[in-house]
A and B are shown apart, each in its own frame.
Chain A
Amino acid sequence: MTNRYLQVLRSYVRWAWLLPALGIALYAAGVSFSPRLRVHLLAFLLWITLLAGWVASMTVAMLKEQMATPRLRTVPGYRSAHLMVGALLMLITVGVLPIIMARPLHAPTLAVIAIAALGSAALAWIAYWQSIFSMILCFGFLSCIGLPRVQEALTQTIAGQRVDVSIAALTAATLIFAIIWLRLALLYEESSEYARAGGGDPTFNAHPTASPAARRGAASEAHWTNALLQAEYRGGRRSIYNAPLWRRVRHWRVVVGNGRASGVTAVMVATFLLALPMISGQTRATHARRSLIVSLVMITMMAVVPVAIITWFGRWRMLGQESLRPMSRRRFLLEMALAAAAELALTFAAFLLFATIPLYVWAPHQISEAFKLLPVMIAVLPLVLAAILWVLRARNAWIWMTGVGMITALSVVPVEITMKLVQGDLSDHDLYKLLALVASLLALAVIGLRTAFWSWERAELG
């Protein structure tokens, strides 16, 4: 390897990449795990896939961040060195890490690599395109793991009975990675994805210069998909200087440009859930209904976070200027926090509202049961908000991405309880435990919110 390749490799060795690798190494060294139930086996496999996928998506995001620069075309050998090093890192990520992690499963190597590679490819695809549609597409694809047929196929694959599935998954993953690498090999300033590097979709971001890429991003506003997602801001010449708090908070939310994004995404998710039992061909089976409720809670909780806050990261650049609007610093931070909270609450409400439709169609008798979960789901939200505020405090895309992953992981709490509930494992005694859980979550949220606000008050916004 020449010095050039070493230099490029060094630029990828960041703590954000090393941290999961360290976690995986510790895990592989210390754990002796022998899953007995199928659901545990699949959950373990999903966990491995998500972790490998997380590293893969960070690698692709870093790769793109380094390549979507003028150096790509002006520095000799820059592109090829990055492509080579990126490919090497990706091979380690999807080839070596899952094998280390899957050691306790005693599953065929090909099966583990194939499943991890496919999941990683899906997350890498999101990291590369950084668009809400790629996100919906990939999360929809990943959520297929909830389908009984898919679960059956996965179980057989891990048992080494379905080599054809392994080969198909590996082929699909290779194809996805090949498309990403091909796009990177052809990337130039006017490529549609060029501007989407580092901190999300620049269309929504404040941008410092009128670069051609940013212009393209802004020009894409005319596209019907964006028109559908964003409600047009009507503006007007009314001052909000003396307006009530809720109007001021609503005004702060304007620039985020989410508009109808939450509602549209919620409708798409609801449609997917509505079709889920039909896809699995088990519209009458009880376990299909149970899967539906679990999927509903999982998707609602997991999708709320990225949909609600993905556009807030780009706001950092503007905070200095925005903090000079006529109000005290404390008031500014409070209104901003409330605006983020409103974003989260409205997204959650939209998801919840539309999610009741498939529930009503496929499992009408379980609606009341499902709604028992509502306090837990709602109690998680303030904690999620606190975590969001902490993550937004970090002006670092990698901390942000890791944080989003951790926040999403918080959603596991209601999902776990849902699983117990639908399996009838919850006794009356457990309901008291649920109340205690709700109280604990809220108490944690209060501490999290207070400390996050305290930290923001000391932040240099310039």
Chain B
Amino acid sequence: MSDVPLDLVAATKRYRDKIVLDELNLTVPAGSVVGLLGKNGSGKTTLIKAALGLVKLDLGSARVFDQPAWHMDADAKSRLGYVPQVVNLYAWMRVRQTIEYIAAFYPRWNWSLIDRLLTEWELNPRERVGTLSVGQLQKLGILVALGHEPDLLVLDEPAASLDPIARRDFLKALLEIAADGNRTVLFSTHITSDLERVADRVAILRNGKITYHGELDELKENVKRLHVTAKNPLTGSFNVPGAVRLRVEGNEALVSVKDASGEVIDRIRADYEASVTVEDLNLEEIFLEMHYD
């Protein structure tokens, strides 16, 4: 049994002339909760689908539990749970029937977990799927992905349609799953506060490539915004190594840097006779800074 639940190497996917994934590399370590961040249309869903073998890569490889994603066997798939961005379920079936229908495919199913979540998430087992609200449908989609207690849970913007209470409950359930330590979760989201709450790692997708993948704490530790006030006006040559965003106005500058080490700060102070104040950024601010063109 491989320790690497999900591994993409030089993954390339084009739709006509548009390159969606561009020789992308991403390895999701076992036991981690990885948040996938990216702008709309950055390729998050394609990445997830390619990783699960739902779309075929033009070049490179996608492996799940050391098996080619396109040709996963029953064992690998029984260890995998997936919640798509748009949950499609059969409208005519009741909630109970839907769960039982899906549960039947798996060798084991945690009915006590499902029964508990049904109650906690206020889903009526007798209700028809077609009469559920978008949020309830999303909950049901999550629920049926959890029943077989997958070793790898992949969620594509799972909380997008949930209200704040449901989102909190969902994150709680996700934390319970992650607390096991053996389970791996990859989820894409726009809600950075959710990601900060549950993820221990973050992968940022931009222009078809992973521009950052690592510990969330490390990212927050390293990416800082520096407020620079120099004695003299800062010229166009003002530059800081590792700057992701730079705004200069007179003798003041705002610089967001990837690696705000003491050495970098000391150098700015020395080179520009400036005072430097370091500002911590939350994940949303980091995301915005890293996507500034």
Q: List the interface of chain A (C-beta within 8 A of B).
A: 202-210, 214-215, 217-219, 221, 230, 233, 235-242, 251, 254-255, 257, 317-318, 320-321, 323-329, 331, 458, 460-462
A320 touches B92 (CB 8 A): no
Which of B79-87, B247-255, B260-268 is near enough to bind chain A? Answer: B79-87
B176 at the interface (CB under 8 A from A): no
Kindly state the separation between the CA atoms of A461 and B82 in the bound complex, as whole angstroms.
14
Q: Which of A210, A251, A320, A326 interacts with B130 by CB under 8 Å?
A: A210
B240 at the interface (CB under 8 A from A): no
Q: A218-B128, A326-B77 are in contact. Are A206 and B104 (CB under 8 A)?
A: no
A235 touches B75 (CB 8 A): no
A207: chain B residues at CB < 8 Å are: 88-89, 91, 130
B132 at the interface (CB under 8 A from A): yes
B88 touches A237 (CB 8 A): no
Instruction: Tell me the smallest distance from the CB of B288 to a CB of chain A, in Å.
Output: 29
Kindly state the separation between the CA atoms of A328 and B82 in the bound complex, as whole angstroms.
16
Interface centre among A240, A317, A324, A461 (most CB of B within 10 A): A324
B53 at the interface (CB under 8 A from A): yes
Contacts A202-B130, A206-B91, A328-B73 given; 20 further ones with Cβ under 8 A? A204-B91, A206-B89, A206-B90, A209-B86, A209-B134, A210-B130, A233-B101, A235-B97, A237-B100, A239-B109, A241-B78, A251-B104, A320-B54, A326-B107, A327-B74, A327-B77, A328-B74, A329-B71, A462-B52, A462-B55
A219 touches B130 (CB 8 A): yes
B80: chain A residues at CB < 8 Å are: 324
Instruction: Tell me the smallest distance from the CB of B20 to a CB of chain A, in Å.
Output: 13
Interface centre among B56, B80, B89, B132 (most CB of A within 10 A): B89
A206 touches B88 (CB 8 A): yes
Overall SS of chain A's interface: loop
Kindly state the separation between the CA atoms of A217 and B72 in the bound complex, as whole angstroms.
36
A203 touches B91 (CB 8 A): yes
A321 touches B101 (CB 8 A): no
Interface centre among B80, B86, B91, B100 (most CB of A within 10 A): B91
Chain B residue nearest in CB terms to A218:
B130
Q: A323-B54, A326-B78 are in contact. Are A240 and B104 (CB under 8 A)?
A: yes
Chain B residue nearest in CB terms to A259:
B92
Q: A239-B109, A257-B92 are in contact. Are A321 and B84 (CB under 8 A)?
A: yes
B237: chain A residues at CB < 8 Å are: none
The 4 closest A-B CB pairs, nearest first, are A218-B130, A462-B54, A235-B100, A326-B78
Instruction: Tell me the smallest distance from the CB of B72 to a CB of chain A, in Å.
Output: 7
B134 touches A210 (CB 8 A): yes
B93 at the interface (CB under 8 A from A): yes
Chain A residue nearest in CB terms to B107:
A241
B109: chain A residues at CB < 8 Å are: 237, 239
A236: chain B residues at CB < 8 Å are: 100, 104
**Total contacts A to B, CB within 8 angstroms?**
138
B71 touches A328 (CB 8 A): yes
Kindly state the separation between the CA atoms of A257 and B101 in the bound complex, as whole angstroms.
12
Chain A residue nearest in CB terms to B80:
A324
Chain A residue nearest in CB terms to B161:
A209
Question: Can you list 24 A-B pairs, Cβ within 8 angstroms, ordered by A?
Answer: A202-B91, A204-B91, A207-B130, A210-B133, A210-B134, A214-B91, A214-B130, A218-B91, A221-B128, A233-B97, A237-B103, A237-B109, A239-B104, A251-B104, A257-B92, A320-B49, A325-B77, A326-B75, A326-B105, A326-B106, A328-B74, A329-B53, A329-B72, A462-B52
Instruction: Tell me the smallest distance from the CB of A343 to a CB of chain B, in Å.
Output: 15
Chain A residue nearest in CB terms to B91:
A218
What mask results when residues 156 to 197 of chain B are scored 1 for a CB within 8 Å of chain A, else 0? Answer: 000000000000000000000000000000000000000000
Chain B residue nearest in CB terms to A235:
B100
Kindly state the separation between the CA atoms of A317 and B84 in the bound complex, as whole angstroms.
11
Interface centre among B54, B78, B102 (most CB of A within 10 A): B54
B131 at the interface (CB under 8 A from A): yes
Instruction: Tell me the smallest distance from the CB of A132 to a CB of chain B, in Å.
Output: 14
B136 at the interface (CB under 8 A from A): yes
Q: Which of B73, B88, B131 interacts with A317 by CB under 8 Å?
A: B88
B87 touches A208 (CB 8 A): yes
Chain A residue nearest in CB terms to B53:
A329
B136: chain A residues at CB < 8 Å are: 210
A325: chain B residues at CB < 8 Å are: 77, 102, 105-106
Instruction: Tell me the smallest distance from the CB of A231 to a CB of chain B, in Å.
Output: 12
B73: chain A residues at CB < 8 Å are: 328
B72: chain A residues at CB < 8 Å are: 328-329
Instruction: Tell me the smallest distance from the CB of A325 to a CB of chain B, in Å.
Output: 4
Q: A320-B49, A326-B75 are in contact. Are A208 and B88 (CB under 8 A)?
A: yes
Kindly state the separation between the CA atoms of A325 and B70 in the bound complex, as whole angstroms.
13
Instruction: Tell me the smallest distance from the CB of A129 to a CB of chain B, in Å.
Output: 18
Q: A321-B88, A329-B53 are in contact. Are A203 and B130 (CB under 8 A)?
A: yes
A255 touches B93 (CB 8 A): yes
B133: chain A residues at CB < 8 Å are: 210
Instruction: Tell me the smallest distance from the CB of A155 to a CB of chain B, in Å.
Output: 46
Kindly state the separation between the CA atoms of A439 and B105 in the bound complex, as whole angstroms.
38
A235 touches B96 (CB 8 A): yes
Instruction: Tell me the smallest distance from the CB of A416 to a CB of chain B, in Å.
Output: 38
Kindly state the separation between the CA atoms of A214 and B129 in the bound complex, as whole angstroms.
10
Instruction: Tell me the smallest distance from the CB of B158 to a CB of chain A, in Å.
Output: 14
B111 at the interface (CB under 8 A from A): yes
Instruction: Tell me the smallest distance from the CB of B146 to a CB of chain A, in Å.
Output: 14
Instruction: Tell me the smallest distance from the CB of B124 to a CB of chain A, in Å.
Output: 13
Instruction: Tell me the smallest distance from the CB of A317 to a CB of chain B, in Å.
Output: 5
Instruction: Tell me the smallest distance from the CB of A159 to a CB of chain B, in Å.
Output: 50
B77: chain A residues at CB < 8 Å are: 324-327
Q: A237-B111, A321-B84, A461-B54 are in contact. Are A217 and B78 (CB under 8 A)?
A: no
